[in-house]
């Protein structure tokens, strides 16, 4: 468990330098454009971010809600199977 946490922390720390990377052409076009283009760009970013986020939340919520639907309620562990096998003989 500790090893996994350290691995995830290491990956996250190594990914931090990759965050500020962006296309130079995109940056210069956005900087040289007017306020209408910047507003449209912000709206486009929101359109690309929120639907996948809501779908991920919905799938997680459904999986959490349905987590026990397929669980067997009877005890069919190895010990219970041996007892039933002995009863049959």
Residues 4-39 pLDDT 10s: 989 888 887 776 666 666 677 777 877 788 888 888
Instruction: With CA atoms as reference, report the closest residue to 33 among 44, 46, 18.
Output: 44
pLDDT at 74: 56
Q: Find out whether 41 and 30 touch, Cβ atoms under 8 Å.
A: yes
CA atoms within 13 A on the CB side of 75: 6
pTM for this model (two decimals): 0.45
pLDDT at 62: 93
Provide the mean pLDDT of the chain. Answer: 77
């Amino acid at each position: 468990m500790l090893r996994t946490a350290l691995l995830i922390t290491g990956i996250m720390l190594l990914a931090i330098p990759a965050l500020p990377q962006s296309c130079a052409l995109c940056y210069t076009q956005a900087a040289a454009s007017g306020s209408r283009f910047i507003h449209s760009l912000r709206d486009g970013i929101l359109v690309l971010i929120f639907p996948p986020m809501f779908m991920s939340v919905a799938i997680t919520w459904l999986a959490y809600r349905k987590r026990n639907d397929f669980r067997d309620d009877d005890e069919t562990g190895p010990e219970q199977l041996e007892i039933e096998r002995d009863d049959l003989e």
